[in-house]
């Protein structure tokens, strides 16, 4: 039996594979079958689902398909409209719903889409739950009698509720007055919400990527394409650039000099600031195997521990909950300030960075002074490699022996695209390039 879930929900090209109206409806029925049974809910005790989406054209197709499936299985549905992923997690908790659903492919292009689920506490569902839902999906999920069908309604003030919630994470004695922020919302789910948050706190906003048309989400903008933001920050003399991705669960910063500040620097900054103010729990930060060795050495030098997980913010969150850490995330910009948000939250993470800069009267470029990152080389191989293949294993082991304690290679299957991702990290660019050449030579022979 195939697990239909990847590292972040069910993903694929819209109108293909699992991302069709038929399969979305079937998935919705399967989910209700599983959770209603697990919670021992009778047909008279309603199961409530909240649904949010980003700005992709295919969201108009998947939202009603999912709604139909949930209603046909006996669930009530609350529609939030275009709203960031972390806002769905928040609204699931706030409305005391049984399940939160996000229709989004995050940082991917418009032609992709995905469906991800949050439990009643706002945390992503577990792999065990995904496998059991997949089993129901492949074994004829059951519909309900007509008299027990659910209903749907739209919640008009969901965006405003999240704006107020996000603002509550910012210190009451601080504001953003006098700050010029270039804000890139990736033509995505936060195109209205994010500007409102920062404007209400007093910032002057330069808008980028806030005219979604259903096809331009993440296109040459947002957290994965910062070139326009970098140019705008320098030309408009902004104090800082903030880039979110299509569903606003990622944050990348551009400093006043136009340089990119990635998730590793941002996590280290928040950890250090929270340590100084007594907010950091357990002196431990959780990141993935992709986080820079330079970051780890820096954290160790200031008395903080780093724990690494597999790639995927859900693995980071699981480890954070397990050990009681309250800050963690990924180099890619998924930052989880778990005291406020149960998933990656670009807006709230940005507010933590801005509060640090405002409180200590620092420039954004000073974040990059924390440590010197090790050079990293990233590659995408346009196929799924068999990582148990002896020749590939020998190649990986040889490179790790070459780099010894001064670097490493990470080879992994992408959870969101049909590619194999490779990261080579070394203390010097020369060593990294040497390892890259060796890896490419071996791959060509294979």
Rounded to whole angstroms, how far apart are CA atoms 243 and 232?
A: 12
Structure token digits, residue 442? 């071996």
R_g of the chain, CA atoms, integer Å: 22
Token pair recorded at residue 334: 């998924």
Q: What is the largest CA-CA distance in the chain?
A: 69
Exposure string for 247-282, b = 16+ CB within 10 A, e = fewer: bbbbbbbbbbebbbbbbbbbbbbbbbbbbeeeebbe
Closest by CA to 345, choosing from 292, 266, 269, 281, is 266
* Nearest C-alpha neighbor of 216 from the set 114, 110, 112: 110
Query: Of how many residues is the chain composed?
Result: 446
- Which of 360, 428, 438 shows the shortest CA–CA distance to 397? 438
Q: Which two tokens stand for residue 11?
A: 């993903």
Contact between 188 and 247 under an 8 Å Cβ cutoff? The reply is yes
What span, in angstroms and rounded, lies between the C-alpha atoms of 184 and 330? 20
Q: Give the DSSP H or E segment for 205.
A: strand 204-208
Spatial neighbors of 130 by CB under 8 A, at least 6 apart, are: 3, 4, 5
CB atoms within 10 A of CB 127: 14
Catalytic residues: 106
């Amino acid at each position: 039996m195939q697990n239909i879930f990847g590292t972040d929900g069910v993903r694929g090209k819209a109108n293909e594979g699992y991302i069709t109206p038929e399969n979305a409806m079937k998935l919705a029925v399967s989910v209700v079958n599983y959770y209603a049974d697990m919670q021992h809910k009778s047909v008279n005790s309603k199961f409530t689902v909240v649904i949010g989406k980003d700005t992709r054209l295919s969201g108009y197709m998947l939202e009603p398909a999912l709604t139909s499936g949930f209603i046909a299985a006996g669930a009530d549905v609350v529609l939030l409209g275009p709203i960031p992923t972390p806002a769905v997690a928040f609204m699931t908790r706030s409305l005391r719903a049984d399940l939160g659903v996000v229709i989004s492919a995050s940082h991917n292009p418009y032609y992709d889409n995905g469906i991800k689920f949050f439990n009643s506490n706002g945390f992503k569902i577990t792999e065990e739950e995904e496998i059991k839902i997949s089993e129901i999906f492949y074994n004829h999920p059951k519909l309900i009698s007509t008299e027990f069908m659910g209903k749907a309604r739209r919640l008009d003030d969901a965006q405003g509720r999240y704006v107020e919630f996000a603002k509550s994470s910012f210190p009451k004695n601080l504001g953003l007055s006098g700050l010029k922020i270039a804000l890139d919302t990736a033509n995505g789910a936060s195109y209205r919400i994010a500007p409102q948050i920062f404007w209400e706190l007093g910032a002057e906003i330069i808008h980028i990527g806030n005219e979604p048309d259903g096809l331009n989400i993440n296109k040459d903008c947002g957290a994965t394409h910062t070139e326009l933001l970098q140019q705008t920050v320098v030309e408009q003399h902004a104090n800082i650039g903030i880039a979110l991705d299509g569903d606003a669960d990622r944050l990348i910063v551009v400093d006043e000099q136009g340089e990119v500040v990635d998730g590793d620097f941002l996590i280290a900054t928040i950890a250090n600031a929270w340590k100084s103010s007594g907010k950091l729990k357990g002196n431990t930060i959780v990141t993935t195997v992709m986080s820079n060795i330079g970051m780890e050495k820096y954290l160790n030098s200031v008395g903080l521990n780093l724990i690494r997980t597999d790639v995927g913010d859900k693995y980071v969150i699981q480890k954070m909950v397990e050990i009681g850490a309250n800050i963690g995330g990924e180099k890619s910009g998924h930052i989880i300030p778990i005291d406020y948000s149960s998933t990656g939250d670009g807006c709230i993470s940005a507010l933590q960075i801005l509060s640090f800069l405002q409180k200590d009267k620092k420039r954004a470029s000073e974040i990059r002074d924390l440590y010197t990152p090790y050079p990293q080389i990233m590659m995408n191989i346009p196929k799924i490699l068999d990582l148990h293949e002896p020749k590939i294993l020998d190649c990986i082991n040889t490179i790790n022996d070459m780099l010894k304690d001064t670097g490493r290679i990470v080879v992994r299957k992408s959870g969101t695209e049909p590619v194999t991702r490779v990261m080579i990290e070394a203390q010097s660019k020369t060593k990294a390039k040497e390892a890259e050449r060796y890896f490419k030579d071996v791959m060509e022979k294979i």
